[in-house]
Amino acid sequence: MPKFPFRLNTQTVVLLTVIALWIFLGFKSPTFLGKENIQNIMVQMAIQGVIGVGAVVIILTGGIDLSVGSMVGFTNIVFALMLAKHGVSLSVAVPAVLLISAAIGLINGALVHDLRLPPFIATLGMMTILRGVTLVISNGSNVFGLPRSLSEMANSNFQGIPYLFLILIVVVVVVESILRRTSFGRYTYALGSNREAARLSGVDTRMVTYGVYMLGGLLGGIAGVMETSRLWMGVPTTGSMFELDAIAAAVLGGASLAGAEGNAIGAFIGALLMTTIYNGAVLLGIDSNNTKVLVGVILLVTVAIDQVRKRRAGE
């Protein structure tokens, strides 16, 4: 095997693309590199980044979570109802909502591991159920009357860095550390590469499966809380199609849907790329429908290039 001085991995390639885009947009639009716009990008990518990280963890085991968008909507409404209609304080409501979302993730894990449902089907069912429940408990209408302090969280900064973005950074660092540095992390990759070999090596496949889906659910819950803070109300339809953005961020960041390839930092970079494109397109005055086409094309091209590159490398 020849040793190249350094080998470009997927994450680096995508990061270079992002940098190229930033340089290009910096020249094209005078406001792009302004403080305000960069803060904008940070806020815009925060929620997608968090659920993208959740998507990566599950995709690493060879699974998928389609229910995360509905999870964002569900936790948004539950959280809003708790605060506005039942007078629950923030310090109780936040942990309660996160607990509920992790529990729903656990149900996903049980459906996948114990009932042997294909993850696609299990979480498709959960996606529909959660959206339905969300619409029922909210009567299909928005929930108002949330405390002002909640909305301040979304709009304030720490040393110029938006709080929502800080949450994303914490999530990326914590999950990346779990993946890299704990046995749970090693097992997650092992499960995605070969479930039977992992089982015969003494890996508790049930606990790991529960764990990744719980983590995915929990991150969906965190994203739901962030979304509530951003919207400052409960909107029963919010979060629809988020699951696809999350998967796109994961895949752009180098995750393989076959499992065992990808990491949390990749999802961060993937989310950054997508947000940059959406943001830049607005600044350049490109019609938003066209932007969608563009994002889709970029997703396909990136993954295709990556596949070709891997084949060249003899993998």
Q: Tell me the closest approach of the beta carbon of residue 25 to other proteins, in angstroms.
A: 36
d(CA 296, CA 37) in angstroms, rounded, equals 24
For residue 232, give the amino acid letter.
W
Site for other proteins, residues 252 to 281, rule: CB under 8 A: 259-261
d(CA 310, CA 254) in angstroms, rounded, equals 11
Contact between residue 163 and residue 42 where contact means Cβ atoms under 8 Å apart: no
Determine, following the binding rule CB under 8 A, whether residue 312 of this chain makes contact with other proteins. yes
Among 32, 74, 79, 189, binds other proteins (CB under 8 A): 189
β-bridge pairing 161-162 and 157-158: antiparallel
- Residue written as tokens 């996948």? 112
Total count of residues recorded for the chain = 315
Pattern 2-41, other proteins, x by CB under 8 A: x---------------------------------------
CB atoms within 10 A of CB 63: 26
Site for other proteins, residues 126 to 185, rule: CB under 8 A: 178, 181-185
Question: By C-alpha distance, which of 267, 280, 277, 279 is closest to 223?
Answer: 267
Site for other proteins, residues 191 to 230, rule: CB under 8 A: 192-194, 196-204, 207, 211
How many residues form the binding site for other proteins (CB under 8 A)? 32
Q: Tell me the closest approach of the beta carbon of residue 175 to other proteins, in angstroms.
A: 12
Q: Tell me the closest approach of the beta carbon of residue 4 to other proteins, in angstroms.
A: 10
Binding site for other proteins (CB under 8 A): 1-2, 178, 181-187, 189-190, 192-194, 196-204, 207, 211, 259-261, 312, 314-315
